[in-house]
Structure 1
Amino acid sequence: MSRRALICGISGQDGAYLAQLLLRKGYEVWGSSRDAEMNSFRNLHTLNIFKDVRLVSLNTSDLGSTLGLLRQCQPDEVFSLAGQSSVGLSYEQPIETMQSIAQGTLNFLEAIRLSAREIRFYNAGSTECFGDTGDYVADEESPLRPRSPYAVAKASAFWTVRAYREAYGMHACTGILSNHESPLRPRRFVTRKIIHAVASLALGGNERLSLGNLNIERDWGWAPDYVDAIARMLAQDAPADYLIATGRSHTLTEFVATAYRLIDRDWQEFVTLDPELIRPTDIAHNKVNVSKAAVGLGWRPKYYMQDVIAAMLDAELGLLREERNS
Structure 2
Amino acid sequence: MKKVALVTGITGQDGSYLAELLLSKGYEVHGIKRRSSLFNTDRIDHLYQDPHESNLKFKLHYGDLSDSTNLIRIIQQVQPDEIYNLGAMSHVKVSFDTPEYTANADGIGTLRILEAVRILGLTKKTKIYQASTSELYGLVQAVPQSETTPFYPRSPYAVAKMYAYWITVNYREAYGIYACNGILFNHESPLRGETFVTRKITRATAKIALGLQDKLYLGNLDAQRDWGHAKDYVEAMYLILQQETPEDYVIATGVTTRVREFVRMAFEQVGITIEFKGEGVGEKGYVTSCSLPDYQIEIGKEVVAVDPAYFRPTEVDLLIGDPTKSNTKLGWKPKYDLKMLVEDMMTSDVNFFRKEKLLKEYGYSIKNQFE
TM-score normalized by structure 2?
Answer: 0.85
Aligned residue for 1:42?
Answer: 42
Of 167, 180, 189, the residue aligned with 1:173 is: 180
Q: Matched residues, percent identical? A: 41
> In 2, are the aligned partners of 1:181 and 1:308 still within 8 Å (CA)?
yes
Residue deviations 1:71-106, cap 9 Å, x none?
111111101010101001101111111111101100
Q: Deviations over 1:241-276 (max 9, x none)?
A: 100011101111111111112222315121111111
Conserved 8 A contact 1:5-1:79: yes
Residue aligning to 1:266: 274
- Distance of aligned partners of 1:27 and 1:36 in 2 relative to their CA distance in 1, 3 Å threshold: farther
**What are structure 2's unaligned runs of at least 5 residues?**
50-56, 276-284, 287-302, 360-371
Counterpart residue number, 2:11? 11
Which residue in 1 is equivalent to 2:203? Answer: 196
1:183 and 2:181 matched: no
Offset from partner CA, 1:216-255 (integer Å, 9 cap, x none): 1100110010000001111111111100011101111111
Q: Give the Å deviation of 1:38.
A: 5.1
Pairing of 1:249-288 with structure 2 (within 5 A)? 249-263=256-270, 264-266=272-274, 268-269=285-286, 270-288=303-321
Aligned residue among 327, 345, 351 for 1:318 = 351
Which of 282, 289, 309 matches 2:342?
A: 309
Alignment of 1:29-178 (within 5 A): 29-35=29-35, 39-45=39-45, 48-51=46-49, 53-117=58-122, 118-133=125-140, 136-178=143-185
8 Å Cα contact 1:134-1:285 kept in structure 2: no
**Which structure is larger by alpha-carbon Rg, 1 or 2?**
2
CA–CA distance in structure 2, aligned partners of residues 166 and 196 of structure 1: 44
CA contact (8 A) 2:205 2:266 kept: yes
Distance of 2:163 and 2:219 partners within structure 1: 28
Residue 188 of structure 1, CA deviation: 1.2
**Corresponding letter in the other structure for 2:131:** A
User: Aligned to 1:122, what secondary structure does the other structure show?
Assistant: strand
Do 1:36 and 1:57's aligned partners in 2 also have CA atoms closer than 8 Å? no
Q: How far off its partner does 1:308 sit?
A: 1.0
Return the letter of the residue paired with 1:285: L
TM-score under structure 1 length normalisation = 0.96
Residues 213-222 or 133-142, more deviating:
133-142
Whole-angstrom distance in 2 between the partners of 1:83 and 1:152: 13
Structure 1 contact 36–56 (Cα < 8 Å) conserved: no
Of stretches 103-112 and 197-206 in structure 1, the one that deviates more from structure 2 is 197-206
Quick one: structure 1 residues 299 and 36, their matched pair in 2 at CA, closer, same or farther if it must change by over 3 Å?
farther
Equivalence for 1:25: 25
Letter in 2 for 1:79: Y
C-alpha separation in 2, matches of 1:279 and 1:272: 17
For 2:323, the equivalent position in structure 1 comes to 290
RMSD, aligned CA:
1.4
Amino acid at match of 1:247: G
Q: 1:325 offset after TM fit, Å?
A: 3.7
